[in-house]
Structure 1
Amino acid sequence: MEIKNIIKLATLSLLLQLSACGLSEIDNYDGPNAAIHGGIYDIETKELIQQDIVRGTQIEYVEHGYANPQTQYMVVKNDGTYQNKLMFANKYTIRAVRGNFVPPPSQEITVSSNTEHNFEVLPYVRIKNANISQQGNKIVATFGLDKTVENSLQRIGLFAHTEINVGEPLHKVSVQQTINGAVDEANTYRLEIDLAQHTTSLMNGKPYYFRIGALMNAGEAKFNYAPAIRITIQ
């Protein structure tokens, strides 16, 4: 028997076996038919809580109706909002985890065609009166802190990058100061980046994003931030 005929017979035999196992059936399951969006808001100020998208807050959700459901995750954007257009209309248990706020309890929600669900949480610390500017050959950041929990302040930082997602996990240049003490709400904190020491990372004539952050000593706490500021180095 010719080799090509042997190959044809082998292929036919395999197809028959797959058909017998039901593996050749067409996948006729319905696709995602729902979406969810929302934000993580300060429960007192009602403002969105700035986030990291690298190693930052995640939204954990479990779909009801399965014996062994898998926990799935959504990433929160830099500005504190989130969106998932690939959901199935159903009931879910949902919670925001590993964030820069006091962890909220799980909630049960129903997701339909276009559901909005917002989280109202207490941030570990608020950054107030934030100001970042170039002063001579330095980038200078001044700001105050508003304590919301009794935990101590671990450190503060000023971060620089070409992307607006700049923060502690994503920066070209950073200046951080270890505090390990109480938040001083009467103090104006100050951090400086000396441009002369970073001429290859922060080049003259190019724009960069700068962001102030503060980290509290609390479990899995992440940095709390003020919005990023765009500055073109002069």
Structure 2
Amino acid sequence: MKNFLYNLLLGGTLTFGVASCMEVDNFDAPSECLTGSIIDVTTGQNILADQAEARVRIWEKSYSLNPSPQDIPVKQDGTYNNTKLFAGTYDVVAEGPWWPVDTLRNVPVGGKVTRNFEVTPYLKITDFSAILDGDTLRVEGRLAAPPIPSYNADRGDVMPQIMDVRCFISSIQFCGNANHLDAYYNLEVNKVKKTVINVRKAWSNISDGVEGSDGLTHSKDTYKFAVWAKPGYTFFVRMGARVDDTFQMYNYSDIVKIEVPQ
């Protein structure tokens, strides 16, 4: 009898526990939206980015005094978008290959909220071209640097060291450091020539220090790449260059589509 009563009580406890676990969560799923653009102040247009390389970092301050950061990737078109946030207040900052920008404090998020960031890129790719020459894709361009934003110059900041200049090739419209044909480079090692030029120099050592009519200071040299173009394929090509800052992300040229005849 004791065993019967014990088993009955145990069964009832387990049933209650299972039923408790099966209770419906009555909290609404997050549905607020934070969106915007990263705008290049030198052009007034969205920054030239690679898919999910740069980011907008947010902290939900209404939830905790010391919240963990959440990252919203910046898309290739220079926009960002998150439609699954809880309503509240957030600190928001854009992080990428540009001079640091101020963090927006206590941004109220409810419904759809748009916050744009105006940024000054470290570098720009100028005189960029990608031309098919027989079975060789010839890619070239120069580097240029916008003036340092005044609030950074006042703080005594200088341009970080230039790390490298690179030619990126992709088989899809997304092209850059996060999206390129590593397998193509590796399999055709005897035909694909160097696609990375290591610089490792201060900006003052690769530029003449003279501001051009476009307001930019240009590099002395043109950076050139010659890459085998596989017949019958379509490629998307661009150039990028980066500096040795915290993030080491690339500033990019536009993307050029190249169709190689069979």
Superposition TM-score tier, normalisation by shorter sequence: 0.7 to 0.9
Alignment of 1:26-65 (within 5 A): 26-53=24-51, 56-65=53-62
* Residue from 63, 72, 78 that aligns with 1:66: 63
Question: Which amino acid letter does the alignment assign opposite residue 228 of structure 1?
Answer: I
The one-letter amino acid of 2:56's match is I
TM-score by length of 1: 0.82
Q: Which residue of 2 aligns with 1:191?
A: 224
Question: Deviation at 1:176?
Answer: 1.1
- TM-score normalised per structure 2: 0.74
In structure 1, C-alpha distance between the alignment counterparts of 2:12 and 2:103, rounded to whole Å: 53
CA distance in 2, matches of 1:26, 1:95: 36
Query: Which residue identity does 1:207 align to in structure 2?
Result: T
2:170 aligned partner: 161
- The residue aligned with 2:245 is 218
> Can you list the C-alpha shifts for 1:52-88, whole angstroms capped at 9, x where unaligned?
335x212111112223533211111122211111122
Are the structure 2 counterparts of residues 47 and 13 from structure 1 closer, same or farther at C-alpha, using a change threshold of 3 Å?
same
For residue 33 of structure 1, report the CA deviation from its aligned partner.
Answer: 3.2
Aligned-partner SS, 1:101: coil
**How far apart in 2 are the matches of 1:134 and 1:226?**
17
CA distance in structure 1 between the partners assigned to 2:231 and 2:8 by the alignment: 68
SS at 2:62 equivalent:
coil
| Partner SS state of residue 16, structure 1 | helix
Residue 105 (1) aligns with residue 125 (2):
no
How far apart are residue 28 of structure 1 and its match?
0.8
Whole-angstrom CA distance in 1 between matches of 2:221 and 2:161: 17
8 A contact 1:39–1:48 mirrored in 2 = yes
Cα 1:210/1:8, change in 2 over 3 Å:
farther
Give the length in aligned residue pairs: 220
Tell me how far apart the structure 1 counterparts of residues 144 and 73 of structure 2 sit (CA, whole Å): 26
Residue matched to 1:179: 199
User: Which stretch has the larger CA shift, 116-125 or 22-31?
Assistant: 22-31
Pick closer, same or farther for the CA change 1:24–1:137 going to 2, 3 Å. closer
1:230 shift after superposition:
1.1
Deviation at 1:206, TM superposition (A): 1.4
**1:211·1:225 contact (CA, 8 Å) conserved in 2?**
yes
Matched, 1:231 2:258: yes
Task: Return the letter of the residue paired with 2:225.
Answer: E
User: What residue ranges of structure 1 are gaps of 5+ in the alignment?
Assistant: 1-6, 196-201
Deviations 1:125-179 (A, max 9, x none): 0112321111222111222322135333222111111122222343224611122
Change (3 A) 1:8 1:114: farther
Task: Give unmatched runs, 5+ long, in structure 2.
Answer: 1-6, 149-158, 186-193, 208-217
What is the DSSP-based 3-state SS (H/G/I as helix, E as strand, rest coil) of the residue aligned with 2:16?
A: helix
User: Structure 1 CA distance, aligned partners of 2:8 and 2:167?
Assistant: 67
Cα pair 2:49 2:78 within 8 Å, conserved? yes
> 1:93 deviation in Å?
0.6
